Structure 1
């Protein structure tokens, strides 16, 4: 049986690969908080930045694709190893790989610590 956390991650990946902002947004709690420990200036509070960030990604990388390698769940904390890739509109390659640590409760992501780096 799948955990609620793995179901949320599956929905997130499907939304990313379908470029579906509505479904993607439903994966996040209204009070979502995201931070990038290596880049503190990229952090944000509130769900408002989620569709802004992803709409820019989907626009600038029309063939954006998300691949999930591994998933680890401990209580309400989830670690997921991702590879995000595609081609920028100018033809250059896009690739990021890393492990966001996510707090998932009530079928939504409440917080994230993103450890994603370009490859």
Structure 2
């Protein structure tokens, strides 16, 4: 894991990655406070609280992606907060490739994570280039500005 050199929250993130890669559900859940809060700003309805939901989520993930591997690609720690860039990969039980990338901003205290702002998303490679993405974001085809003739 690159960049996690401070103690505290960095140690917790290191334990979390090890538990993910070992598919050790109990060790993974032990990385989270009982009253843990997950915010998912891009999908607000997906936010949740409590380590019981962490257990439920990861039980399904380990079952659905039996060869899941996780890596913190880059990170920086500031006090009790770790800004972490993730890649998770594997093969789903239906044979489809699983690949997620993104950022999780993790706050910890006393050896557990207490809060995460979660920005991981499935990687998709069929949505087109930047022009297509802007058109979708704007809700209609956007005409490029015309150059003035002088």
Q: 2:79 aligns with which of 75, 80, 91?
A: 75
2:38 maps to 1:34:
yes
The gaps in structure 2 that reach 5 residues or longer are 124-150
The answer to whether the 8 Å contact 1:6/1:71 transfers is no
Shift of 1:46: 1.4
Q: 2:51 aligns with which of 33, 47, 50?
A: 47
CA-based RMSD of the aligned residues comes to: 1.0
Q: TM-score, normalised by structure 1?
A: 0.96
Question: What residue in structure 2 maps to residue 99 of structure 1?
Answer: 103
2:7 maps to 1:3:
yes
2:120 maps to 1:116:
yes
Q: TM-score, normalised by structure 2?
A: 0.77
Larger radius of gyration: 2
Q: Give 3-state SS (helix, strand or coil) of 1:102's partner.
A: strand
Q: Which runs of 4+ in 1 moved over 2 A?
A: none
More strand by share: 1
The gaps in structure 1 that reach 5 residues or longer are none
For these two proteins, the number of residue pairs brought into alignment is: 119
The answer to whether the 8 Å contact 2:83/2:104 transfers is yes
The answer to whether the 8 Å contact 2:6/2:77 transfers is no
The answer to whether the 8 Å contact 2:8/2:80 transfers is no
Question: What residue in structure 2 maps to residue 24 of structure 1?
Answer: 28
- C-alpha distance in 2, partners of 1:76/1:10? 14
The higher-RCO structure (CA 8 Å, 6+ apart) is 1
Shift of 1:2: 3.8
